[in-house]
Amino acid sequence: MRKILAFYEKIKPYLNKYLIVLLLFGVLIVFIDEHNLIRRMRYDSKIRALRKEIRQYERERDRALEQLEDLRTGSEELEKIARERYLMKKDDEEIFLLE
């Protein structure tokens, strides 16, 4: 308790009611308030992560749309997909799978 009083005596000339109110306001904004600064930073981080995820899904969607268009227009792409994914073959061919 003596240390606290000694500290208070040292800073007493610099304290006034405006500084005290300003410090209390700062503590309220940073730590206590429902929409405090720490929670706000967490929300901003989540928002950035979600926006990054949205961009990733948009790129995947664009690639899928391009592939769908290729499948609709060209038989070569359709044959390529059928051979690679579904292991389809022509009658006179054989398929060897290597691992």
Q: Which two tokens stand for residue 52?
A: 């990054």
Indicate the angle between helix axes 75-86 and 37-73, nearest 10 degrees: 110
pLDDT in tens, 60-86: 999 999 988 888 887 787 777 777 777
Residue 44 has a pLDDT of 96
Residue 36 has a pLDDT of 83
pLDDT in tens, 9-54: 887 777 787 788 888 888 888 788 788 888 889 999 999 999 999 9
pTM reported for the whole predicted model: 0.55
- Please work out, in degrees rounded to the nearest 5, the angle formed at the alpha carbon of residue 64 by the alpha carbons of 60 and 69: 150
What distance in Å separates the CA atoms of residue 29 and residue 36, rounded to the nearest whole number? 5
Q: Which two tokens stand for residue 10?
A: 């040292």
Q: Which two tokens stand for residue 92?
A: 């006179």
